[in-house]
């Protein structure tokens, strides 16, 4: 898969573990959205749960 696909999958897993309403999960979801739009060309490592 692409770098985006791999990063998105990891972020989805982090969001799932944290619960969608947690602050960290919201930040991860925003990060994924930013990557999708291309405003963040470097895909950062998702935070560890």
Domain boundaries, the chain: 3-34
Lowest mean pLDDT, pick from 3-7, 18-22, 24-28, 37-41 = 37-41
Question: Does 44 score more than 80 pLDDT?
Answer: no
Full-prediction pTM beyond 0.75?
no
Res. 45 pLDDT band, cuts 50 70 90 = low
Closest CA to 13 of 25, 30, 1: 25
Question: Which DSSP letter does residue 19 get?
Answer: -
Distance, CA of 1 to CA of 23 (rounded, Å): 28
Question: Does 39 score more than 70 pLDDT?
Answer: no
Q: What sections of the chain are H helices per DSSP?
A: 3-18, 23-37
Average pLDDT over residues 5-33: 86
Average pLDDT over residues 18-47: 77
Return the CA Rg of the chain.
Answer: 10
């Amino acid at each position: 898969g692409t770098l985006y696909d791999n990063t998105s999958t990891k972020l989805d897993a982090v969001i799932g573990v944290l619960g969608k309403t947690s602050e960290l999960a919201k930040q991860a979801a925003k990060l994924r959205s930013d990557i999708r739009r291309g405003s963040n060309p470097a895909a950062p490592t998702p935070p560890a749960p």
